[in-house]
Structure 1
Amino acid sequence: MTILGSHFVDFDTARILVADDDPILREFAAVHLATPTLEVEVAEDGVFALERLQQGGIDIALIDLDMPRMDGFELIERIRWDDQLKHLPIVVVTGREDMVAVDKAFAMGATSFVVKPLNWRLLSHQLAYVLRNAQAESSVRSRLHDLQRVSDLKDRVLRLSRQKLTGPLNDILDSAQTIEHLSTIPEISASLRRIAEASVALTRVHADMGEAERLTPAP
């Protein structure tokens, strides 16, 4: 949230990388975007930008589409190919009438865009908005990942239980039935009958576990 009268747009602690071949724009970005909680780093082209991003620690990137060596389009593509960077929020910078480039950038994975000439105050608000959305999405992904891990663990326990129970249950049932037929003592026969019935009940539970595993959709 922005406090009225404050000089700064309020960011959570974050670091932005500004990739642009214009040294004046890079200098302006360092001056106008930096706040007590937003650290600004710059790169003069896509190659330097990708190298810095792969080192980690960047929370959002502001990328010019027209740069030497590696332009913004290729940089976006390389970012989206990288498992460690594929969710990085990317705001692209382009000319006011260059909507074809904007469409292409979005198709390649850009998150948002801004047009030149830049209004640094409005850009700060847009970056804060994009960054908050990215952080919310990251939180959702983390929760889904945790749920998937719990689900996978339950599946492994269920599978292991079925594998380990099959043999012992059959042995108990066979042994109880055999001894029951051989025993001439009613009390022992009755106890063995109860063991056999319990084994049958467990076998049914075991079968139900197998059916549940079969019907559970694969992740």
Structure 2
Amino acid sequence: MMIMGSGGERGYTNLELREEVLVIILAGTDTSAVGASYVCVLLSRFPKVQEKVYEELRDVFGDSDRPLTVQDLPNLKYLDAVIRETLRMYPPVPVTVREVHNDVVLPSGVTLVDGVSVINNIWGIHRNPKYWGADADVFRPERFLEGPLKHPAQFIPFSYASRNCLGYNYAMMSMKTVIANLVRAYKVLPPKDLDPARLKEPLRVKFDIMMKPVDNYVLRLESRK
């Protein structure tokens, strides 16, 4: 499709094709996997949150083991809030860079001049007390069930505006499906050797293309059966 869409033999070079495919692989799969993995780690550390997710799944599926369908996803509102709160605190892509093409005067009076690059600090935006309150550093999924956000750009794990991620809805559906199927079958628990005092500490992270935990995604699974 890329070869044909770019003009066949007169279109993308082999290098350009390789770069486009690499972007699709990273942006379409690895980011969702990283996001879902963060959710698993946080569920293992917040058992009350996990139990509420499981109760919601029981409300939707009862005792059945029928497969999850796309029609079920809108009914998983608390799970959706858990995923969003996870992406708020630990966005897989914590910064983005944009190039300014025309002078732009910000509301503060600062002018961004043509040709400069601007870093969007998503990590910082997601933890700004002005928009998230005094508990901005606290994992609290309920905040996404309390009404509309104060500003449309205060939650931007998939970037924002015309250059945002085209796969936003797909990524959310993918993560909800993965987590729902996992929690239906297993309890997600922290490692046995993890000091209980560390359970409430922030995750230590590193930035390597995407932001990932220093200690990796170590946890245990216990069958609900």
Which bin holds the TM-score, normalised by the shorter protein?
under 0.3
**Greater relative contact order structure (CA < 8 Å, 6+ sep):** 2
TM-score (norm 1): 0.22
TM-score (norm 2): 0.21
User: In proportion to residue count, which structure has more helix?
Assistant: 1
